[in-house]
C-alpha cells in the first residue's frame, strides 16, 4: 500500500513538474511574442523614418540640383551684366577724365 501511495505521489509530482514546465514555456512564448511584436513596431517606425529621410534627401538633392543650375545661369548672366556695366562705367569715367583733362589743358594754355 505504501508503494502505491508513493507511486501516486511520484506521478502527481511528475504531472506538476510537467504542468509547471508547460506553464513556464507558455509564459516564455508569450514574452517572446510580445517582444517580437515590439520589435516589429520599432522596425515599422524605423522604415517610416527612413522613407521620410530618403524623401527629404531626394527633395533636397532635387532642389539643390535645380537651384544650382538655375542659379548658375542667373549668376552667369548677372556677372556678364555686371561686367558690361563695370566696363561701361570704367569707359565712361575714362572718357570723363579725358574731357576734364582736355578742359584743364585747354584752360592752362589760355
Asked if residue 27 has pLDDT above 90, the reply is yes
Q: In sequence order, what DSSP letters do the residues of 89-102 get, joined into one string?
A: HHHHHHHHHHHHHH
Q: Residues 64-85: what's their mean pLDDT?
A: 67
Q: What is the pLDDT of residue 57?
A: 76
Determine the length of the chain. Answer: 110
pTM for the structure as a whole: 0.44
Q: Given the C-alpha cell 561686367, which residue does it identify?
A: 83
User: From the centroid of its chain, how far is CA 24?
Assistant: 45
Amino acid at each position: 500500500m505504501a508503494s502505491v501511495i508513493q507511486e501516486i505521489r511520484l506521478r502527481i509530482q511528475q504531472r506538476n513538474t510537467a504542468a509547471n514546465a508547460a506553464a513556464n514555456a507558455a509564459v516564455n512564448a508569450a514574452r517572446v511574442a510580445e517582444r517580437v511584436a515590439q520589435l516589429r513596431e520599432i522596425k515599422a517606425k524605423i522604415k517610416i523614418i527612413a522613407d521620410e529621410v530618403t524623401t527629404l534627401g531626394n527633395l533636397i538633392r532635387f532642389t539643390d540640383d535645380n537651384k544650382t543650375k538655375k542659379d548658375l545661369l542667373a549668376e552667369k548672366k548677372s556677372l556678364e551684366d555686371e561686367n558690361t556695366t563695370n566696363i561701361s562705367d570704367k569707359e565712361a569715367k575714362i572718357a570723363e577724365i579725358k574731357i576734364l583733362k582736355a578742359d584743364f589743358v585747354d584752360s592752362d594754355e589760355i
